[in-house]
Structure 1
Amino acid sequence: MRAARTRAYRRGVFAERLAAALFRLKGYAIVARRYKTPVGEIDLVALRNRSLAFVEVKRRKSQDDAAWTLPTRQRRRIVRAAQYWLASHPEFAGYDMRFDVVLTAPWTWPRHLENAFPV
């Protein structure tokens, strides 16, 4: 069981690195990675111009599977974590913000969904 969890963790970290590379190619700066708060975790915080993207990275066996793995409860947790992050980083007050999702699966290009869910 432990080996399976370690493998899943490593795959998740790789997916997050892939997503960060995708955002950098699109002209974003990565402001935070794997940011943990008391209310949840944010995989990536990306910045371009005066716009922040709070990014959830999903890795599954197929991108279709990954697209369905963000239930309402998890979305609320991500929004609360983003609010916590913003409160901890007042230099970004007044910036536009949105919530993106990056779907990854083996042997496919990552798929970036901008504004994947409303605030």
Structure 2
Amino acid sequence: MNREAAERRGRGAETLACWYLRLKGWRILARRARVAGGEVDIVARRGRTLAFVEVKARATEDAAAFALDEWRLRRVAVAAERLAPRYLRAGDDLRIDALFVVPKRWPRHLPNVWQG
């Protein structure tokens, strides 16, 4: 798959992920939030929980899980740390989540995937 097609697929998966999160009561605060050292696909809030969400779209759930390695999670964690002051309120819980998008299945949301 060429870079342009992969970019389109990624954006589509992020849009689907945003709708899924909205249906689950989350408010989307930002998409593709970039800072030096990393990027967060989605910044979302539900109540007192602020989540930085990494979206992985693959042909299978195993492939999506494999694509979410420690190096990628570390980049998300660095970006989340730098973005947190923009979105964090006193008393909030902050976490890094993953959301897997696989064809012909509901997205799978994994809360709090980073404990680094």
- When normalised by structure 1's length, the TM-score is 0.90
Deviation at residue 93 of structure 1 after TM alignment: 4.5
Contact 1:86 1:93 in 2 (8 A): no
Report matched runs for 1:51-66 at 5 Å.
51-66=49-64
What letter is aligned with 1:98? R
Equivalents in 2 of 1:61, 1:85: separation in Å? 30
User: Which segments of structure 1 move beyond 3 Å, counting only runs of 4 or more?
Assistant: none
- RMSD (Å) for aligned C-alpha atoms: 1.5
Structure 1: segments with no counterpart, 5+ residues: none
Deviation at residue 75 of structure 1 after TM alignment: 1.2
Q: Which whole-Å deviations, capped at 9, do the CAs of 1:59-106 have from their partners, x for residues lacking one?
A: 11111110111221211111110011013x165354111111001122
- Which residue of the partner structure matches residue 92 of structure 2? 95
- Which residue of the partner structure matches residue 41 of structure 1? 39
- When normalised by structure 2's length, the TM-score is 0.92
Structure 2: segments with no counterpart, 5+ residues: none
Question: Kindly, what percent of the aligned residue pairs are identical?
Answer: 46
Would you say how many aligned residue pairs link Structure 1 and Structure 2?
116
Contact 2:22 2:28 in 1 (8 A): yes
- Which residue of the partner structure matches residue 32 of structure 1? 30
